Each structure stands twice: as C-alpha cells, then as structure tokens.
Amino acid sequence: MLRFSSSILDVLIWSDVISFSGLAMNNTSPAAGNNISKGIALTLISILIFSVQDVAVKMLVTDYPPTQVVMIRFWGVAVFTLVWIMREGPIRQAFRTKRPKLQVTRGILLVLDIWFFSAALQFMPLSDLQAIFMLFPIVVTLFAIPLLGEQVGIFRWSAIGVGFLGAMIIIRPGFQDVNIGVWFMLGAVTTFALYTVLTRLVSRHDSTTTSMAYMAVVGVVLSTSVGIFNMVPMALNAWLLMGLVIITANVAHTLFAMAYREAPASALQPFNFLILPAAIIMTVIFFGHWIDAISLFGASLTVGAGLFVWWRERQKAKTAKREALKQVPIR
C-alpha cells in the first residue's frame, strides 16, 4: 500500500502487495472482481493524483535534501498505515512474522530505492526518469529466476532483451554524457525489483498487514536515522507542498485499493504503464521539458516488453489453473 517517492513506484508497490498477498483476489468485498470498468476508472484517477504528487516531490527535492523530504513523507504516510492496520486487527498481531529478517530486508531495500529515486529527481526530468523505470518488470523477471525459482522461456528472454535495448536507447551510453541521475535511477530500479521479489517471497508466509507494518516501521526508523541529520529549515510554501504530497499519497493509495477490490489485478496491471504518458504531460506543463523522440522510442520498446512479460505471466497463470482443475477428481 505504501510508497514514498514517485507515482510509478507508488502504483507498482501497491499493486504488487495486493496481487501477491491475495487482497485483491479474496472475497473481502462482495463486488470484488465484478466491476472492471469502475476498477479501471479508479486506477486512472489514482494515477493522475500520483502524477500531481510527483510534481510536488520534484519541486521539493530541488530546494531541500531528498533524505529530509523522504523522512517527513514517511512520517505522514505512516500515520495512514497505522490507521489501516488498526482496522485490520490488533497491532501486536500485525508484527507477528515467520520471516523477520526477510521483512526487515524488504524495508531497507524500500528506503534505498526511494533515496535513489529522490536523488535522481534532482538531476533529470521526471519523464526521462519514468522512462528508465519502465525497466522494472524486466528486472523483476531476472531476479525471480534465482530467488523464486521461476522458469523463463524464449519469449520472455526476448522481451527482456528488447526491454534492455529500449533502456540503452534512452541512456545512449557512448553517444552522450551519462547523467548521474541515470545511475541513481538504475539503482532505484534494481533495489525496487529486489524489494518486489522479496515481497512475493514473504507473501508465502505472512499476511498483507504484517508486510505493511514492517514496511512502515523499518521505513520510518531508517529514513529518520539519516534524514534527521540533514534537515534544513523549510519555508511555508515547502510545508504546503509537503502536505500536498502526504494528502495525495493517502488519497491515491485509498483509490488504488478500492480499484483492486472492484476488479482483478490482471485486468488493471496494464494501466499502470499509463504513468509514463502522465509523467510526460506533467513535465511539459510544470517544467516545460519535452522528452526527446529517441528517448520516447526507447521508452516505447521498454513499455512494450513490460506488457509482454505481464501477458506471458497471465497466460502461465491461466495454464496452471486449467491444469489444477484437471487434477480435481470427478465423482
């Protein structure tokens, strides 16, 4: 549910937690999975709100240390998380985990990822960063092979190759000076992909509530232990922007959760990639920067590869379901 840096990260973390912890697939709501059009509408609205949040975050990290911005945002969104956990049951129960080291590692990776992304925002336009972040599902697939034991066939390997080709077109090493923000962004992609794979792994043992609790606590402790030593006085307009970031994060997360209760994750996942055109539009409106044609082409390749990976995973899930039904004895 929680994500504390950029919109695409917010969208992916919430959809990943829901998809692999079973919240969207259970019967918590009688309407779950029965109103796809409403789920899509809520997803699109949440993406728009996340994009507004992105603009506010970039404005803040331009003038203030990213570690300070991340720390304050963790504080604000952690309150929302606490309320959500309390609705699910006793807080003590939420912290009972079968894999404590794995949960703590997830939290550390999350904070590292956010620091990387926030640092990248200082050096590169938002649209360019989002284009590079489209590598995320490709890198997740690579990490899932050794850590989750997933099998990857020729089609998905081809998609991985196309995705990295798209990233190289965006970065263009050897043809232009590589912005330091690119390295920060690649660090964000790597740490978030590892975080996602560990989320899938820990979901086999712990509930969504437990994963949320550890994510929030580790995030607050780690971000505060660093951010508190880099604080600088913030002007009134900066605090207003900070308030906007926290409010939009909470509202968008709530809408996103509602969307996944209305429609299955498999139907909504492709719409997450719309965050890239949203970022391009917001970058033009608020910062006057147009993504160049070469980068846009590279981003299109990467998005296409990511969508193909999603499609292959969905096909594999359908095949596994059919095979499971065949094994059910007929009486």
In tens, the pLDDT along 253-275 reads 778 778 777 776 666 667 777 77
Q: What share of the chain has pLDDT > 70, as a percent?
A: 84
Which pLDDT score, from 0 to 100, does residue 244 have? 93
Which residue has 């956010």 as its token pair?
114
Tokens in use for 7? 């919109």
Average pLDDT of span 129-140 = 81
In tens, the pLDDT along 147-193 reads 878 777 787 788 778 888 888 887 776 555 667 888 999 999 999 88
**Burial (CB count <10 Å: 0-12, 13-18, 19+), residue 325:** exposed
Average pLDDT of span 223-250 = 92
Q: What share of the chain has pLDDT > 90, as a percent?
A: 18
Q: 191 near 113, Cβ under 8 Å?
A: yes
| DSSP for 35-96, written as a single string | -HHHHHHHHHHHHHHHHHHHHHHHHHHHHS-HHHHHHHHHHHHHHHHHHHHHHHS-HHHHT-
Identify any residues that bridge with 176 across adjacent strands, giving them in sequence order: 173
| DSSP for 261-311, written as a single string | HHS-HHHHGGGGGGHHHHHHHHHHHHH--PPPHHHHHHHHHHHHHHHHHHH
For the cut 70, the answer to whether the pLDDT of residue 230 exceeds it is yes
Question: What radius of gyration do the chain's Cα atoms show?
Answer: 19
Which pLDDT score, from 0 to 100, does residue 12 have? 47
In tens, the pLDDT along 79-123 reads 888 887 888 778 888 888 999 999 999 999 989 988 998 888 888
Average pLDDT of span 136-149 = 82
Which pLDDT score, from 0 to 100, does residue 294 have? 83
Q: How confident is the model at residue 4 (pLDDT cuts 50, 70, 90)?
A: very low
For the cut 80, the answer to whether the pLDDT of residue 16 exceeds it is no
Which pLDDT score, from 0 to 100, does residue 23 have? 41
Residue 270 CB partners (closer than 8 Å, separation 6+) = 307, 310
**Burial (CB count <10 Å: 0-12, 13-18, 19+), residue 306:** buried
Task: Encode 84-104 in three state secondary structure.
Answer: HHHHHCCHHHHCCCCCHHHHH
- Rounded to two decimals, what is the model's pTM? 0.76
Q: How far apart are CA 233 and CA 244, in angstroms?
A: 18
In 3D space, the residue among 324, 316, 319 whose CA is nearest the CA of residue 152 turns out to be 316
Which pLDDT score, from 0 to 100, does residue 34 have? 61
Q: 227 near 60, Cβ under 8 Å?
A: no
